[in-house]
Structure 1
Amino acid sequence: MKTETVLEWIDREMVIAIIRGVGPGQILDTARAIKAGGISNMEITFDHGTPEGIGDTLESIRRVKAGLGDQVNVGAGTVLTAEEAELAAEAGAEYMISPGMDPAVIRRTKELGKISIPGALTPTEVCKAWDCGADFVKMFPAGVLGLEYLKAVRGPLRHIPMCAVGGISPENIGLFLDAGIRCFGIGGNLVSVEAVRRGDFHKLTQAAIGYRQAVCRWQENGRGER
């Protein structure tokens, strides 16, 4: 998928579903359920907690790409090293999301022709990530930082597109959009690992619908122009 298309897809839907703790055996049903709710951007996170975690993550990316193809926009999350960016790109990931700001990961991601979304906490980190080539800067953890903090950081840095992760709900997402946040990563509030384990994929679809409706309401109110 072309880089421009990946960015347009994220900009249009504004929500990236964070899939964490779901193994290869249930990943395709999970992705289909999220897609059925209207969300096509999906971040499959690296699991660094087990010996087989990295391999399982790569297999999950491959399965979603093979099963849904260009119906979905798949990225890799918790990318901590340049090597992981390379492995994820080989598996089919279109973008790399990290909890922190590592220039080596950003640069390698861009060399691979992929979208870079590193994490940042301070204005200094935001500027450094942007200077290194980031396409979006992930403000994490947004729920802890708070809306007023994000507004203050965005004030002098409006030229840098920001993605908020953590503490975002359908009820408050409009406030973050009003503050100029461009996109959102939504984890447990959207992708419940417990629901996946029970086979209750309908719950994921309903959660995705809730977020899509919230974004659409904001757009329909005439606030969707950037």
Structure 2
Amino acid sequence: MDRNNIIKSIKEKKIIAIIRGVSEEQIVQTVGALEDGGISLVEVTFDHDKPDFIESTTKKIWKIRERFGDRVLVGAGTVLTEEEVVAAANAGAEYMISPNVNESVIRKTVEFGKVSIPGALTPTEAEFAYRVGADFVKLFPAGDLGINYIKSLLAPLKHIPFLAVGGVNPTNIKEYLNLGISGVGIGGSLVNKETASYPMKLTTIAQEFVKNSK
């Protein structure tokens, strides 16, 4: 899909489900349950603790693309190196999400025509990331920063599209979105070992997030 359309979809749909620790065997079932619940943006994270993490993560990304096509937009998460950008892009990832600001990762993502979403904590990091090519800046960890911090940071940086990641749950999602950010990333409060094993439960929780985001 065209890069501009990916950016537009993220801004419209607002919720990215973070998939971490889900096996290759469960990945299609998990994404299907999220789609049934109204969430069609997913992030499959690189697990750097595993020796074969690049291969295992890119296999999951490829499986999602093969099964769902453009109905589900899949990105790679915890992208720390240019090598990971290339591997994820070749597997079909449309956006690269990082916990940090790494200029070489941002530039490589842009070079491959993908959407860049680095993670930042301070105004200096956020402005630098956006200046060197980030399409969105992920405020992480949003739950630890708090609503008031994010509100203060947005005041002088309204031109930067922000996502809030960390600590977002069904009861506070609307509060975050009301700040004027472009969207949120949701991890363990949505996809975890339990919900990955019980797709109907995952669908129900996804529906709650979507309903509360309106």
> Of 199, 202, 206, which aligns to 1:201?
199
Q: Counterparts in 2 of 1:36-185, with a 5 A limit?
A: 36-185=36-185
Distance in structure 1 (CA, Å) of the matches to 2:106 and 2:52: 25
Deviation by residue 1:153-182 (Cα, 9 ceiling, x = unmatched): 000000001000001112111111121111
Distance in structure 1 (CA, Å) of the matches to 2:24 and 2:185: 21
Q: Counterparts in 2 of 1:8-23, with a 5 A limit?
A: 8-23=8-23
- SS of 1:164 mapped into structure 2: strand
Amino acid at match of 2:73: N
Amino acid at match of 2:212: A
Distance in structure 2 (CA, Å) of the matches to 1:105 and 1:30: 28
Whether contact under 8 Å (1:20, 1:193) holds in the other structure is no
The number of residues matched between the two structures is: 214
Whether contact under 8 Å (1:129, 1:137) holds in the other structure is yes
Distance in structure 2 (CA, Å) of the matches to 1:48 and 1:54: 8
Which residue matches 2:213?
215
Q: Which runs of 5+ in 1 are unaligned?
A: 217-226
Deviation at 1:52, TM superposition (A): 2.0
Whether contact under 8 Å (2:106, 2:132) holds in the other structure is yes
Whether contact under 8 Å (2:21, 2:192) holds in the other structure is no
Distance in structure 1 (CA, Å) of the matches to 2:35 and 2:5: 18
Distance in structure 2 (CA, Å) of the matches to 1:50 and 1:94: 23
Deviation at 1:59, TM superposition (A): 0.2
Amino acid at match of 1:48: H
Q: Which moved more, 1:68-77 or 1:172-181?
A: 172-181
Deviation by residue 1:93-135 (Cα, 9 ceiling, x = unmatched): 0000000000000000000000000000000000000011000
TM-score under structure 1 length normalisation: 0.93
Distance in structure 1 (CA, Å) of the matches to 2:27 and 2:54: 15
Amino acid at match of 2:65: K
Amino acid at match of 2:131: D
Deviation at 1:195, TM superposition (A): 2.8
Q: Which runs of 5+ in 2 are unaligned?
A: none
Distance in structure 2 (CA, Å) of the matches to 1:123 and 1:183: 18
Deviation at 1:53, TM superposition (A): 2.0
Tell me how large the CA RMSD over aligned residues is. Answer: 0.8
Amino acid at match of 1:208: A
TM-score under structure 2 length normalisation: 0.98
Which residue matches 1:224?
none
Deviation at 1:41, TM superposition (A): 0.3
